[in-house]
Chains A and B, each alone.
Chain A
Amino acid sequence: MKYTDGNNCFVYIDHDEGTINQVSLELLTEAKHLMKRLKAPEKVVAIWLGTFTDDILKMLGDYGADHIITCEREDLNQYDVMKHTTVISEMIDAYHPQSMLIGGTVKGRELAPRISARVHTGLTADATQIDLDGETHHLAITRPAFGGNLYATIITPDHFPQMATIRPGVFEAKTFGHTSLPTQETFQYDKALHSPIEVMAIEEKDTKRTNIADAKLIVSAGRGVKNCLNLVSDVAAHLNGEVASSRALVDGGIMSKNHQVGQTGHTVRPSLYIACGISGAVQHTAGMDKSDTIIAINTDENAPIFDVADLGIVGDAQAILKQLQKQLDA
């Protein structure tokens, strides 16, 4: 017997040999909140491919999963777009979920479109907000477009599941006080799986490289401070923060791409974001306006960065950074 039929929300759990990607937990939590708001609450169902353990069961439950469907085959431990597309599409055919959420990671954004094409349904990319659409209770999924200049709310009214990839970091992963473990069932898939794609080598990226996506404090550099980046790094170091930058400096070859905040760079939500000499085009603010607190320094009092700032200082960022350095040293 199937656990449910058409009455649930699938959340794809993205993992590397059992290590779960944070975004999947964020989606479980958000899905749980969302399902609670339905008149007839649906279940949050985590989809797990590969070897499964009790620890994982508990963890997924803690973050909001009501039920877990697993396909425990060793040949699924490693992500493969062709194999995963096949198994997940078969699951969708078998369970008819109302919706399916997938983390907007590289894997997710490679996998989800392929699934949506195979099962013939709508997919909304890189969403930043999920709501319920009035009476119908379809998912109303909001996403930025036009380089963050425009937001669009997308619905998939006639096709199921309603699929979306969700941008990492926009929702918070939280544990719920649970009384019981989630239920689990196995999806039996016995056919041979074949993928023509062969992994020849895997290199981990240098972990010492800055990871601004996880930073708690960011000092971000724009055109206005391109001549004093040492000062920016120094102040960031004093404040135990990371250095980030606007696209202008990345395009200018002054900063590397992994420092870039904005629509075409990283989305960050640190406790404190200090924007130095950044004018604050939407392209930039789209990536940082969810920061808890924003301080902006710019010589142009009309710079749009001040529109998102909690503290706005009109002045020369270089001179102010120098003073900050001095006062932090003192």
Chain B
Amino acid sequence: MNIAVLVKQVPDTTEIKIDKETGALIRKGIPTITNPDDLTGVELALQLKETYGGNIHAFTMGPSSAKNMLRELYARGIDEATLLSDKAFAGSDTWATSHILASALKKHAFDLVIAGRQAIDGDTAQVGPQVAEFLKIPHVSYVDRVIDYNDGMLKVKKNEEHRMLTLNLPTPALITVLDEAAKPRYMNMFDIFRRSHLPLNQLTCDDLDVSLADIGIKGSPTKVKKTFNKSATQKQPKQTLNPEQAARTILDFIEAKGGQS
């Protein structure tokens, strides 16, 4: 089974702090990581490869610093990695990003494309399904588990809010995976020394069949009008109380609000 995995390098949003004085986002010094859901996708690909054989090719679009992330994926066991990097790509929204990724994927024949559910910086969950549409292949989002792959047919479990669906879909197909789908392995010492320096493929705008009108800020249907931090709501006086007083105050407060119990 030949698998493409879509990965994104993201800032570790759990490390982001807000300047308490100005309310501004402190971006400086925030480490970048491989998007956690994408690591799940990589792990799932590795497991599928272990069971069904084949080749794993990771694709990412981003600045050249994303090479480090791809090296880490080599150290986890993927076979090939491609970085799509070009100034012309900068500022792409999900539509334009998907368009670029799909045009790179079209150069190969994959049985399965795996994307993480969503990236922790944008949280859109859109690139996977949009890539599937551009590739004209079926997709299932929110895959909890891949049950089986047999004779070109993939059987997956999809996690909806109130129910679990077992679905069959013919390959080539795309799935987006939840973190339940697989627990990412660690980089392996053998692969760190043996494989982390394998060559990376690099593609620019010129290597792809895309028009400048469809990529970057210009080619993105959505525009960011403004970004802002949510200003902290007005501070309420805090009370330091002993446990008994505290409990009484809470119950009085609940009572005053209309009673809950």
Direct contact of A and B (CB under 8 A): yes
Chain A residues at the B interface, C-beta cutoff of 8 Å = 81-82, 85, 105-107, 109-114, 116-118, 120-126, 133, 140, 143-147, 149-159, 195-205, 207, 216-217, 238-241, 263-264, 271-272, 274, 282-283, 289, 293, 295, 297, 301, 304, 306-316, 319-320, 322-324, 326-328
List, sorted by A's number, 9 A–B pairs whose CB atoms are closer than 8 Å.
A147-B16, A149-B16, A195-B138, A202-B165, A240-B260, A301-B240, A304-B232, A311-B253, A315-B246
Pick from A124, A150, A264, A316: contact of B222, CB below 8 A.
Answer: A124
Q: Is B247 at the interface (CB under 8 A from chain A)? A: yes
Check B251 against A327 for contact (C-beta < 8 Å).
yes
Among the 9-residue stretches B70-78, B79-87, B153-161, B203-211, the one with 4 or more Cβ atoms under 8 Å from chain A is B153-161
Check B126 against A123 for contact (C-beta < 8 Å).
yes
Contacts of B160 in A (CB 8 A): 105-107
Contacts of B6 in A (CB 8 A): none
Q: What is the interface of chain B mostly: helix, strand, loop, or mixed?
A: mixed
Complex Cα gap A263–B160 (Å) = 18
Pick from A120, A154, A200, A207: contact of B95, CB below 8 A.
Answer: A120
Q: How large is the interface on B (under 10, 10 to 19, 20 to 34, 35 or more residues)?
A: 35 or more
CB distance from B17 to the nearest CB of A (A): 8
Given that A133-B225, A315-B246 are contacting pairs, would A293 and B257 also be in contact in the complex, using a CB cutoff of 8 Å? yes
Q: Is B237 at the interface (CB under 8 A from chain A)? A: yes
CB distance from B140 to the nearest CB of A (A): 7
Pick from B18, B128, B222, B225: contact of A282, CB below 8 A.
Answer: B18
Annotate B242-260 by CB proximity to A: 1 below 8 A, 0 otherwise: 1110111111011001101
Contacts of A322 in B (CB 8 A): 243
CB distance from A4 to the nearest CB of B (A): 22
CB distance from A206 to the nearest CB of B (A): 10
Check A123 against B236 for contact (C-beta < 8 Å).
no
CB distance from B31 to the nearest CB of A (A): 14
Check A156 against B222 for contact (C-beta < 8 Å).
yes
Complex Cα gap A46–B90 (Å) = 37
Check A113 against B133 for contact (C-beta < 8 Å).
yes
Pick from B159, B167, B254: contact of A200, CB below 8 A.
Answer: B167
Check A320 against B247 for contact (C-beta < 8 Å).
yes
Check B142 against A106 for contact (C-beta < 8 Å).
yes
Annotate B156-200 by CB proximity to A: 1 below 8 A, 0 otherwise: 001111111111111001000000000000000000000000000
Complex Cα gap A16–B127 (Å) = 26
Check A146 against B134 for contact (C-beta < 8 Å).
no
Check A114 against B132 for contact (C-beta < 8 Å).
yes
Given that A113-B133, A313-B239 are contacting pairs, would A199 and B121 also be in contact in the complex, using a CB cutoff of 8 Å? no
Check A199 against B166 for contact (C-beta < 8 Å).
yes
Complex Cα gap A155–B204 (Å) = 28
Q: Is B93 at the interface (CB under 8 A from chain A)? A: yes
Complex Cα gap A149–B26 (Å) = 10
Complex Cα gap A182–B93 (Å) = 37
Given that A126-B123, A198-B168 are contacting pairs, would A307 and B233 also be in contact in the complex, using a CB cutoff of 8 Å? yes
Check B225 against A311 for contact (C-beta < 8 Å).
no
Given that A105-B161, A274-B250, A312-B238 are contacting pairs, would A199 and B228 also be in contact in the complex, using a CB cutoff of 8 Å? no
Contacts of A297 in B (CB 8 A): 246
Complex Cα gap A98–B36 (Å) = 36
Given that A149-B16, A306-B235, A323-B246 are contacting pairs, would A82 and B227 also be in contact in the complex, using a CB cutoff of 8 Å? no
9 closest Cβ contacts across the A-B interface? A122-B221, A147-B13, A323-B247, A122-B222, A117-B133, A125-B124, A110-B141, A113-B129, A319-B243
